[in-house]
Amino acid sequence: MNLPRPCSLPLWTVAGPIAACALLAAVWGRPLGGLVAVAIAVALVACVMVAVQHAETVAHRVGEPFGALILALAVTVIEVSLIVSLKLFGGAGQDALARDTVFATVMIVCNGIVGLCLLAGALRNHVAVFRVEGSSPALAVLIPLTTLALVLPQFTTTTAGPTYSKLQLAFAGLMSLLLFGVYVFVQTIRHREHFLPIHTPGDADDGHGEPPAQRTAVAAFALLCVALVAVVGLAKTLAPGIEAVVRAIGAPSSFVGVIIALIVLLPETGAAFRAAIRNRMQISLNLALGSALATIGLTIPAIGLVAIVFDMPMVLGLPPKEIVLLVLTFAVSIITLASGRATVLHGTVHLVLFAAFLFLSIVP
C-alpha cells in the first residue's frame, strides 16, 4: 500500500545547497588546501544527492515525461553557462572546449548512463523493458545532431581545419535548435504517451504516493537549480586539483573536461539509476538520451552565437579516433534500442564501450 509523501522538504535537502553555495563563495578564486579540497568534494557529493532528490520531487508533481525533461534542461543550461564563461574568460587554449565537452557528454550518456541503467534493470528484473516508440526517436535526433555538430566540420572546405565558417556555424545552431524543439514538442505534447513508463505486473514499488503540493514542488525546483549551480561551481573550483592529478598520471589536458562532465552528469546518473532499479526503464532512457539531446541542442547554438558575436575561433570537428568511437556507439545503441527489450549483455556492451572511451581519453 502506497502512503502519501509528506509535502514538506527534508531539512538536509534545503540546507545542503545553501551551505554549498556559501562554501563556494568563501573559496572562490582562492588556492585550496588539503582540508578545504576535501570539504569541497564532500559538498559536491551532497549537492548531487540533493539535486536527485529535488528532481524526483518535481517529476512526481508534473508527471512524466516532463519530470525527466526538467533535470536534463537544468543540467544543460548550467553546463552551457560554464562552457561559455570558460570560453570568454578562460584565456588561450579553449578553442576545442565545447567540442570536448559535448563529445564527452554524448559518450558518458550513451554508454555510461545507458549501460549502467540497462545492466541494473536487467539484473533486478531479468529483462529491461522500454518503449521503442519513445527511445528510437530520441536516438534518431541525437545521431544527426551529433554528426552535424562534431563530425561534418572535419570535412567542410570553406574554412581551414575542423571548423565551421560563421554562416555554417549559424546554420548548424539553427538546425540544432529546430531538431531539439521538435523533439520536445513530440515528447511532451504530440506523442507524450510514447515516453511514459511501461507498467507490468512485476514492477517494483516506486515509493510514490500522492504528488507533493504545488508550493513544495516550486521550492524543490528552486533548490534544484541552486544545487546544480553549486555542483558546477564546486567542480570548477576543484579543476586545478584535477588538472594536477591528470598531469601526474600522464593523461592529456582534454581529460580534465571528461572528469568535469562526469561530475556534472552525476545528478542525472543517480536519477536514471534509481528509475531503472524501480523497473521504470523508459524514464531512465528519457533522462539519459534527453540530457544528451539538450546538451547538443542548446550548447551548439549558444557557443555558436558567442563565437560569431565575439569573432572567436571554435574547433568542432572530432579527430579520427573519436569519430570511430562515436560511430561504434551509435551502431550499438541502434541495436540495443531496436527491440524494446534489453538484457545484461546489452548493458555490459555499453559499459565496455564506456571503459574504452575513458581508457583512450587517458592513453590516446
The verdict on residue 105 lying in a domain is yes
Confidence of residue 9 (pLDDT cuts 50, 70, 90): confident
Q: How many CA atoms lie within 13 A of 164 on its CB side?
A: 27
How many domains is the chain partitioned into structurally? 1
pLDDT tens-digit readout, 165-182: 999 999 999 999 999 989
Confidence of residue 230 (pLDDT cuts 50, 70, 90): confident
Which CATH number belongs to the domain containing residue 19 in this structure? 1.20.1420.30
The verdict on residue 3 lying in a domain is no
- Looking at residue 344, what is its pLDDT? 95
- Looking at residue 64, what is its pLDDT? 60
Mean per-residue pLDDT over the chain, rounded = 83
The percent of residues in the chain predicted with pLDDT above 90, rounded, is 30
What average pLDDT does range 37-59 have in this prediction?
81
Confidence of residue 4 (pLDDT cuts 50, 70, 90): very low
Asked if the model's pLDDT at residue 200 lies above 70, the reply is: no
The verdict on residue 102 lying in a domain is yes
Asked if the model's pLDDT at residue 206 lies above 60, the reply is: no
Residue 128's nearest CA partner among 340, 353, 314 is 340
CB atoms < 10 A from the CB of 189, how many? Answer: 8
Q: What is the rounded distance in angstroms from the CA atom of residue 362 to the CA atom of residue 364?
A: 6
The verdict on residue 335 lying in a domain is yes
Q: What is the rounded distance in angstroms from the CA atom of residue 349 to the CA atom of residue 332?
A: 8
Per the model's pLDDT, the better-predicted residue between 25 and 65 turns out to be 25
CA angle 25, 266, 86 (to 5 degrees): 50
Q: What is the rounded distance in angstroms from the CA atom of residue 103 to the CA atom of residue 119?
A: 23
- Looking at residue 3, what is its pLDDT? 36
> What are the start-end ranges of the E strands in 124-277?
128-129
The verdict on residue 329 lying in a domain is yes
pLDDT tens-digit readout, 241-252: 776 777 788 888
Per the model's pLDDT, the better-predicted residue between 357 and 32 turns out to be 357
Q: What is the rounded distance in angstroms from the CA atom of residue 102 to the CA atom of residue 229?
A: 19
Asked if the model's pLDDT at residue 101 lies above 80, the reply is: yes
CA angle 89, 92, 94 (to 5 degrees): 75
- The boundaries of the domain holding residue 244 are 11-362
pLDDT tens-digit readout, 72-87: 677 777 777 666 666 6
pLDDT tens-digit readout, 331-347: 999 999 988 899 999 99
* Terminal alpha carbon distance of the chain: 53
Q: Can the peptide bond before residue 65 be classed as cis, meaning omega within 30 degrees of 0?
A: yes
What average pLDDT does range 301-314 have in this prediction?
84
Q: What is the rounded distance in angstroms from the CA atom of residue 220 to the CA atom of residue 214?
A: 10
What average pLDDT does range 142-171 have in this prediction?
93
Q: What is the rounded distance in angstroms from the CA atom of residue 139 to the CA atom of residue 286?
A: 11
What is the sign of the dihedral through the CA atoms of 273, 277, 283 and 286? positive
One DSSP character per residue, 297-344 reads: HHHHHHHHHHHHHTT---B-PPPHHHHHHHHHHHHHHHHHHSSSEE-H
The verdict on residue 1 lying in a domain is no
Q: What is the rounded distance in angstroms from the CA atom of residue 256 to the CA atom of residue 23?
A: 23
Asked if the model's pLDDT at residue 205 lies above 50, the reply is: no
Q: What is the rounded distance in angstroms from the CA atom of residue 71 to the CA atom of residue 228?
A: 10
Burial class (CB in 10 A: 0-12, 13-18, 19+), 316: buried
Residue 363 has φ and ψ, to the nearest 5°, of -120, 80
- Looking at residue 355, what is its pLDDT? 96
Confidence of residue 207 (pLDDT cuts 50, 70, 90): very low
The verdict on residue 97 lying in a domain is yes
pLDDT tens-digit readout, 350-359: 999 999 999 9
What average pLDDT does range 41-54 have in this prediction?
81
Q: What is the rounded distance in angstroms from the CA atom of residue 222 to the CA atom of residue 245?
A: 34
Long-range contacts of 163-172 (CB under 8 A, 24+ apart): 163/313, 163/314, 163/315, 163/316, 163/317, 164/314, 164/316, 166/307, 166/308, 169/304, 169/307, 169/308, 169/314, 170/304, 170/308, 172/148, 172/300, 172/304
CA angle 331, 320, 135 (to 5 degrees): 25
Per the model's pLDDT, the better-predicted residue between 283 and 94 turns out to be 283
Confidence of residue 48 (pLDDT cuts 50, 70, 90): confident
- Looking at residue 140, what is its pLDDT? 93
Residue 71's nearest CA partner among 57, 89, 84 is 57
What average pLDDT does range 142-150 have in this prediction?
94
What average pLDDT does range 295-315 have in this prediction?
84
The verdict on residue 6 lying in a domain is no
- Looking at residue 85, what is its pLDDT? 62
The percent of residues in the chain predicted with pLDDT above 70, rounded, is 88
pLDDT tens-digit readout, 269-303: 888 898 898 888 988 998 889 888 988 888 888 88
